[in-house]
Structure formats: structure tokens, C-alpha cells
Amino acid sequence: MQRKEFLKTLGAGALFALTAGCFGGCSKDDEDFAPTEDVDFTIDLSDPTYDNLQQNGGYIIKDRVVVAKDDNGNYVAATQRCSHEGFYEVSLQNNEWFCGQHGARFDLSGQGLNSEASRNLTIYQTELNGQMLRVFS
């Protein structure tokens, strides 16, 4: 086989290898940025580590989950992973979930509020028992 023929063959193979994964569709809309792991942990609110959760509008991040105290004093939780492009940039801002990467905004129930948030955000449940706050899927 001539060198030129070999490179031609290699080029076609490489092109196939690079594109084969996209035959089913590679558009951004097909990607799923929802977290796959189950969430279930408990926070002791008396632990100074979680002092940010003592004030309305405060939040902490634990195990890639944003746990926050909303403006009404309720505990809420959402994935830190944004549904837009999967960056772990979600936090609480102005009583909404906000992604600092491109500006996606979600209400506290995870409903998208702008075009970057066309897919909803995964929300977790919270349960307060004394000073113990459970966050779970």
C-alpha cells in the first residue's frame, strides 16, 4: 500500500470514528444534564459550618446540592448542576436559582425563567426536624 493510500484509509476511518457517535444526534437539546445520583443527607443547622442557612437568602453547597433558606425562611434545595450546559454553577440569588455561567434563572420550584433555562432544574425535598435538616430526592 502506498503511503498516500494508507493516509487516505486512515483519514476515512478517523472521520468515521469521530462522527459515529453522532449518528443518533448530537444536538445540545439531546444532552441530559440532570443529576443521576440519589440525594439523601442531613445537615445539623447548629453546626457553625452551616451558618449561612441561619439567614434568609443564605445558602451552602454540599455534595453538589445547593441548600438555601429562601426569603420566606423556608429551606429549599436544588442541584448545583445547571440544566443549560451542565456547569456546576447554580446558586441562590434574589430568591431564584441562578447559574453564573450564562445567566440561567429558575424559580424555586425549578421552572425556567429565561431562554437559558428552557429545561427545568432538578429540585430536592427538604424536611426540618428540630435543628436537623434532611435533603433528599
Query: Which of 52, 91, 93, 101 is close enough to bind ligand FES by CB under 6 A?
Result: 101
Q: Which residue lies nearer to ligand FES by CB, 77 or 133?
A: 77
Query: Which of 60, 77, 78, 104 is close enough to bind ligand FES by CB under 6 A?
Result: 104
What are the C-alpha distances in Å from 90 to residues 22, 97, 132? 29, 6, 24
Query: Which of 87, 107, 120, 126 is close enough to bind ligand FES by CB under 6 A?
Result: 87
Residues in binding contact with ligand FES, number by CB under 6 A: 11
Residue located via cell numbers 445547571: 82
CA dihedral 95, 137, 132, 127 (to 10 degrees): 70
How near is the Cβ of 114 to ligand FES at its closest, in Å? 9
Q: Which residue lies nearer to ligand FES by CB, 60 or 82?
A: 82
How near is the Cβ of 129 to ligand FES at its closest, in Å? 33
How near is the Cβ of 122 to ligand FES at its closest, in Å? 13
Question: Do the Cβ atoms of 128 and 117 come closer than 8 Å?
Answer: no
Counting contacts by CB under 6 A, is residue 121 touching ligand FES? no
Q: What are phi and psi of 67, to 5 degrees?
A: -110, 130
Selected range binding ligand FES among 23-31, 43-51, 78-86, 124-132, rule: CB under 6 A: 78-86
DSSP 80-98: SB-TTT--B-EEEETTEEE
Using DSSP's 3-state secondary structure scheme, residue 56 falls into coil
What are the C-alpha distances in Å from 129 to residues 39, 66, 115, 132? 18, 19, 37, 5
- Residues lying near ligand FES in the complex (CB under 6 A) are found at 82, 84-85, 87, 89, 99, 101-104, 116
